[in-house]
Structures are given as structure tokens and as C-alpha cells.
Structure 1
Amino acid sequence: MELQEVEVFIAPDGTTRIEVRGVAGAGCLDLTEDLEKALGGQVVERELTAEAQELIQERVDERLRRSQGS
């Protein structure tokens, strides 16, 4: 099992940033859901890594191919 890391940065003004490593695709969203709620639940911006975006796109493409009968 690959190591999963969650790092939380808290700026002096109270804004927070969460970075996740070692989690495939959008699984990071599930992993950080409770933490986001505990920090106030107000997500201003979300940026997925290129790796996560690529994996999500591959899954979307596969579903499209299956739905089109290819």
C-alpha cells in the first residue's frame, strides 16, 4: 500500500490549504472531506493535480466508450 499524506498549511490570516499526496484520482476529496468540514467547510478554491485530472479524464473517456458501444 502506498503512503498517503495529508499536509495542512495555516496562514497567519487564518486561511488554510490542504495538500494530498499518494492518493489516486479524486480519492483525495473523500480523504479530506471530514477535515474540510472541521476547518469550517467553506472551500474557496480546489485544484486537482495534473495526475488526478488525467486519471479522472481516463475514467470519463472509458465510460463514454462503453455507453457508445465501442
Structure 2
Amino acid sequence: MQIQELEVFISPQGKVSFGVRGVPGRKCLDLTKALEQDLGGEILEREETSEMVSSEVSATIARKQQARN
């Protein structure tokens, strides 16, 4: 099982940002949803990382290959 990490950063000005690692595809959004709501629910910016996109593509390819067999 891969380790899932949620890293939280708070700037001196009080801006909160966080990053997720080890969570495939868009499932990272499920992991951060409660934290986003606890912090007020207003998302100023969301950046999709290459890990997020590549994990989704890999999962889709794997499912299609299994269906052929």
C-alpha cells in the first residue's frame, strides 16, 4: 500500500495551502474536501499536478486492458 500524504503550509500572512501525494487521480479532492470546508470553503486557486493527471490515465489504461482479456 502506498503512503498517502497531506502537506499543509501556512504563510506568515495566514494564507493556507496544501498538497497531496500518493493518492491516485482526482481522489485527492475527496481527501481534502473536509479540510477545505473547515477552512471556510473558499478555494482561491487549485493546481492539478502531473501526478494527479498521470494517475488517472494509468488507471484508465489498466481498466481497458483488463476488459480485453
TM-score, reference length from structure 1 = 0.74
Identity %: 49
Q: Distance in 1 between matches of 2:42 and 2:28?
A: 17
Alignment of 1:1-70 (within 5 A): 1-56=1-56, 59=60
SS in 1 for 2:8: strand
TM-score, reference length from structure 2 = 0.75
In structure 2, the partner of 1:64 is none
CA contact (8 A) 2:24 2:56 kept: no
Across the aligned residues of Structure 1 and Structure 2, the Cα RMSD in angstroms comes to 1.7
Amino acid at match of 1:9: F
Question: How many residues are paired up?
Answer: 60
Unaligned residue ranges in structure 2 (runs of 5+): 61-69
Q: Distance in 2 between matches of 1:9 and 1:57?
A: 28
Residue 19 of structure 1 deviates from its aligned partner by 0.5
